[in-house]
Amino acid sequence: MSDSSSWAAIRAELSGPAGLNMGWAAADRHVALGHGEAPALRWVGRDGAERTLTYADLAEHSSRFADALRRLGVRRGETVFTLLPRVPDLVVALLGTLKAGCVAAPLYAAFGPEPLRLRLALGRARAVVTTAALWRRKGPLDVPHALIAGGDAPEGTHDLAALLGAADPQVPVAPTGPDDPALLHFTSGTTGAPKGALTAHDAVVAQVASARAALDLRPGDVYWCTADPGWVTGTVYGVLAPLACGATVVLDEGDFDTARWYGLIERQRVAVWYSTPTAIRLLMRAGDDLPRRFDLTSLRHLASVGEPLNPEAVLWSRRTLGRPFHDTWWQTETGSIMLANRDATPGVLGAPLPGIGAEVWRPDAEGVGELVLRPPWPSLFRGYLDDPARTAACFAEGWYRTGDLVRRGADGLFRFVGRADDVIKASGHRIGPFEVESVLLEHPAVAEAGVIGKPDPVAGEIVKAFVALKPGVAWSDALAAELLGHARRRLGPALAPKEIAVAPSLPHTRSGKILRRLLKARELGLPEGDLSTLEDGAG
């Protein structure tokens, strides 16, 4: 079977009476096939409480959600944000938004008020689904409708449970086609504010194909993705793809905890597990004895994503968990997994999935070049919101440019080398230095700020800031703590710098941009490289 015909076959398989709709494909389709009573979602609460929702439950609740949006006057194509902990209402809101023909934009609950306000404004939010506690904690957010999950709706907001109770449990799904917009995820580059990457309903075709090919996901599998649905991995591979595949999705409200995690695999009989190198390194650090106390024999396939997977992690998981972690590579803009390491050779990123063309673009003498992919494929983003110039800049000579550096071994398989730009990957989260620098610059003591990813043995990278102070301001431990506190309040713990240092001035290019690469080279004690673009006398 050729690849485009297998995409065509999956597209036909996932399409319903109203066309191709991600929300319908993930929930109602299974009901239509007679599998409505199969468990779709197994929610595990922070305190260990459990709740199971069947596919029929998800279809009904998400219909009610879609109808509630309509009653509020939210129309097709408009954007509905979620800002929620990992609770079933998050899944209901996501699927219901898609079934209403609206665009679903997930936000991470650990974002501070600044990144939230920026994203809600950029995405022209018509509604946000959140909790009373988050609504109060994040301060006033500018959005026409706030739908409050879990009760205690503050004045001026809507109680989600009441809206769902009054809504139609079987409202028809909005007719959508493969090219209608479905998901909006914000992502960061080197310069400028975060950009909203739009993907269309057709993405579910490649998401299902890749979940089968790279995650070995089969109907009925108990599946756990540890990523929060506030990030693209958690939306796509934590909710949409596994549901569309007919798996049982484990949704854990709790935070990372080694014994809790092993206990969850044992108790839920998890077969397929998708996690990150940072989480694996945390498990490794807790030692080999702990996992031996649990029955982990249900595990059939382990996969990892988001940052380089070190070979030790693959060897460790093979030895300790009985299965190796398989690396997978993708990014927000690609919409689904593009490369996967099928036999889990340590240190290897892998090969392109069927239908995906990949090349090393303009390799240097060592064979290192940019990873480029041949468009189109079903989940390729349809552009950055309101930014055609930036969208166009991602494409050259018939390729989509990923911004990652790779090389190919004699075996033809790809190896990850690094980012071609200044994007930071902290615990697998993509962080744009500009967003962090902008918040530091708000502080009256700061004249200039430059932010880099500093290598870290567990998190891969941590965010480190360098600042130059305004004339007359003296550096002190108290000022350092104040700046870190300011950044944390504004940005939230996910984006805020962990370390800060002062410099008399920061190095610039001739065009005035901060040379973050030089800051990083100095931090690491590396050669400073070609400084010909350095501004005279700076640094």
The correct pick among 430, 443, 490, 520 for binding ligand WT7 (CB under 6 A) is 430
Residue 331 belongs to what H/E stretch?
A: none
What gap in Å lies between CA 370 and CA 307, rounded to an integer? 16
Choice between 32 and 462, CB closer to ligand WT7: 462
Between 176 and 278, CB nearer to ligand WT7? 278
Does the protein bind ligand WT7 through residue 187 (CB under 6 A)?
Answer: yes
Decide the pairing of beta strands 301-304 and 325-329.
parallel
The region of 278-286, 321-329, 355-363, 386-394 touching ligand WT7 under the rule CB under 6 A is 321-329
Shortest separation between residue 436's beta carbon and ligand WT7, angstroms: 15
The reply on whether position 437 binds ligand WT7 by CB under 6 A is: no
CB 329 to ligand WT7: min, Å: 4
Q: CA 235 → CA 214, 241, 394, distances in Å?
A: 17, 9, 23
Site residue total, ligand WT7 (CB under 6 A): 23
Check residue 101 for interaction with ligand WT7 (CB under 6 A): no
Q: Which of 158, 218, 323, 419 is close enough to bind ligand WT7 by CB under 6 A? A: 419
Smallest separation, CB 214 to ligand WT7 (Å):
11
Residue 333: DSSP 8-state? G
Shortest reach from residue 519's CB to ligand WT7, in Å: 19
- 384 touching ligand WT7, by CB under 6 A: no
Comparing CA positions, the residue from 123, 144, 130 lying closest to residue 77 is 123
Q: Is 62 in the site for ligand WT7 (CB under 6 A)?
A: no
Give the orientation angle of helix 433-441 with respect to helix 477-491, to 10 degrees. Answer: 120
Classified as helix, coil or strand, 466 is strand
Q: Which is nearer to ligand WT7, 38 or 282 (CB)?
A: 282
Q: Which range binds ligand WT7 by CB under 6 A, 265-273, 326-334, 438-446, 521-529? A: 326-334
Contacts of range 524-532, beta carbons closer than 8 Å, 24 or more positions apart: 524/454, 524/455
Q: 183: which strand partners?
A: 104, 199
Q: Which of 176, 379, 391, 402 binds ligand WT7 (CB under 6 A)?
A: 402
Contact call for residue 414 and ligand WT7 (CB under 6 A):
no
* 196 counts as binding ligand WT7 under rule CB under 6 A: no
> At its nearest, how many Å lie between ligand WT7 and the CB of residue 495?
13
- Residues 128-162: b if buried by 16+ CB within 10 A, e if exposed: bbbbbebbeebeebebebbbbbbeebeeebbbbee
CB count within 10 Å of CB 499 equals: 15
* Residue pair 181/108 in contact by the 8 Å Cβ criterion: no
Residues of this chain, 327-356, that bind ligand WT7 according to CB under 6 A: 327-332, 349
For residues 200 and 198, what is the distance between their CA atoms, to the nearest angstrom? 7
Task: Give the number of other CB atoms < 10 A from CB of residue 67.
Answer: 22
Query: By C-beta, is 204 or 469 nearer to ligand WT7?
Result: 204
111 contacts ligand WT7 (rule: CB under 6 A):
no
Q: Which is nearer to ligand WT7, 347 or 357 (CB)?
A: 347
Q: Where are the beta strands (DSSP E) in 99-156?
A: 103-107, 125-131, 145-149
Nearer to ligand WT7, 21 or 233 (CB): 233
Cα gap 328→308, rounded to integer Å: 10
- Using only C-alpha atoms, the chain has a radius of gyration, in whole angstroms, of 23
The torsion angle over the Cα atoms of residues 248, 253, 258 and 264, rounded to 10 degrees, is -30
Q: Is 228 near ligand WT7 (CB under 6 A)?
A: no
Pairwise CA distance, residues 233 & 425, whole Å: 14
- Minimal distance, residue 424 CB to ligand WT7, in Å: 10
**From the DSSP assignment, how many helices (H) and strands (E) are in the chain?**
19, 27
Q: Does residue 317 interact with ligand WT7 by CB under 6 A? A: no
Query: In whole angstroms, how close is the CB of 208 to ligand WT7 at the nearest point?
Result: 17
210 sits near ligand WT7 (criterion: CB under 6 A):
no
Judged by CB under 6 A, does residue 416 bind ligand WT7?
yes
- Contact call for residue 235 and ligand WT7 (CB under 6 A): no
Residue ranges binding ligand WT7 (CB under 6 A): 187, 232-233, 305-309, 327-332, 349, 402-404, 416, 419, 425, 428, 430
